[in-house]
A and B are shown apart, each in its own frame.
Chain A
Amino acid sequence: GDSVTQMEGPVTLSEEAFLTINCTYTATGYPSLFWYVQYPGEGLQLLLKATKADDKGSNKGFEATYRKETTSFHLEKGSVQVSDSAVYFCALRSNSGGSNYKLTFGKGTLLTVNP
């Protein structure tokens, strides 16, 4: 079945540091890929997405590139801020068969950014 593996962290960085959160996936066919962010006590917000190979999703300074050859969708940001402290989830949506109704999530990565 489909699965998503992401570094569990926690990740602790200083403000303005470079961020990478690794995400790899297993899926049949060509899934769509997502990053969601969850701030403390809140629901999940879609951060960015990519629907086909080599697409780059970007939002709020975050970027992720859909790499089919390495089945990866790593999240990056060049300079993090304290306000980026949150839990980040990588997810995929299968585009094949009867599984395209649901998202498969990784376990989440807690990011803490210190001033």
Chain B
Amino acid sequence: SQTIHQWPATLVQPVGSPLSLECTVEGTSNPNLYWYRQAAGRGLQLLFYSVGIGQISSEVPQNLSASRPQDRQFILSSKKLLLSDSGFYLCAWRVQGGYEQYFGPGTRLTVT
């Protein structure tokens, strides 16, 4: 069966520090991968998606970036965090051409 992992589970970082969040998927090949942010409440904002290794599309311009160095690994990064980057970051995957997305457990980021 397929599983999706995210780490760390929680993170507290000062403003201006770098960020690296990792997401890995097991049990499937060549998935579509997604990063979402859920900030100060419940709405979900799509940040990035990837259809393959090295292929990243950005939905919202900001100081975050994403990379996909391996087929089942998706990384969210920042060189300098802002207070507004605080939130709950969710990674998701989907079978190519499939209907539904499956979400990871999330990373709670607090920027102080």
In angstroms, Cα B43 to Cα A93, docked, is 17
Contact A43 B43 (CB under 8 A): no
The interface bits of chain A over 64-99 (1 if a CB of B lies within 8 angstroms of the residue's CB, else 0) are: 000000000000000000000001010001000000
B94 partner residues in chain A, CB cutoff 8 A? 101
Q: A17 near B: Cβ within 8 Å?
A: no
Contact B105 A43 (CB under 8 A): yes
Interface residues of B in 25-52 (CB under 8 A from A): 32, 34, 41-44, 46, 49, 51
Contact B43 A46 (CB under 8 A): no
A87 partner residues in chain B, CB cutoff 8 A? 42
B43 partner residues in chain A, CB cutoff 8 A? 105, 107-108
Partner of A46, one of B46, B51, B102: B102
Contact A42 B99 (CB under 8 A): no
Partner of A101, one of B6, B51, B104: B51
CB contact under 8 A between A105 and B44, given known A32-B99, A49-B100, A51-B99? yes
| Chain B residues engaging chain A, CB cutoff 8 angstroms | 6, 32, 34, 41-44, 46, 49, 51, 59, 90, 92, 94, 99-106, 108
